[in-house]
Each structure stands twice: as C-alpha cells, then as structure tokens.
Amino acid sequence: MVDENASRTPDWLIVRRDDDHDVSDAVVLVGAATRTRAGLFAALATALALPTYLGDTWDALSDVLADRLDAGPLTLLITDAGQLLVDEPTDQYALLLTVLGDLATNAPHPLRVTLDEAPPS
C-alpha cells in the first residue's frame, strides 16, 4: 500500500521559495549561521535567549525548546535555508526535523518553522 501522505509537508513546517520574509512574530535565523550543528545551536541560543546550560546534543536542544514552548508559541524563520546544516552529514538535518516535529506534535503551544529557500537576488 502506498502512503499518500509520505511526501506531504507537516502542518508545522512551511517551505517557501519567494523571498518574502514577512512572517509575523518570527524569530529569524540566517542560513549562513546554521551551516553546522554548533552554528545552529549558537544561533538558536542567541535568538531565543536559551539557557547557558544548553548542551550540544539534539536531546539537550529538544529539552530547552520544550521549556521555551511551555511559555508560549514559537515561530522560526530560517532565511537562505539551503545552507541549513549543509556542512554536516545529511542525517543531522533529518535529526533536526525529527526534533522539531516531535516538539510541534507534543508541545503545549504551537511551533511553526518556515524554511525560506529563495535564491539570492
């Protein structure tokens, strides 16, 4: 049996290619700063004022983002998202999406992520 939803983007994730960065109340991360896992974690820690005890594992990121989502909804906009984790093994991108998907499904407040893949002007 074929899963008709296999290629469907989940409701919490938006992929855009239109260079329109007007996402209300979004926390913006610049793709160039997220090329590595360490860069992504640092960008998130700075943009969201995450606690200093944020470790460098996906579980640690999940824990602090879950705490953040306990306080209210969160919208992330990653510009030039084609650079997101590009300097890491491909499984790291999949792990990020798994972490975000689990949070979006289980958090008390909504998580929305917009990946803007607009080509450079």
Specify the DSSP class assigned to residue 23.
-
pLDDT tens-digit readout, 37-74: 999 999 999 999 998 878 889 999 999 999 999 999 99
The closest of 119, 38, 115, 45 to 75, measured between CA atoms, is 115
Please, where are the H alpha helices in the chain? 37-48, 58-71, 90-106
Q: Which of 14-18, 22-26, 48-52, 56-60 has the highest mean pLDDT?
A: 56-60
Average pLDDT over residues 15-30: 79
CATH assignment of 23-116, given 3.30.830.10, 3.30.370.10, 3.30.230.10, 1.20.1270.360?
A: 3.30.370.10
Q: What is the mean pLDDT of the chain?
A: 88
Q: What pLDDT shows up at residue 55?
A: 83
Domain boundaries, the chain: 23-116
Distance CA 24, CA 6 (A): 29
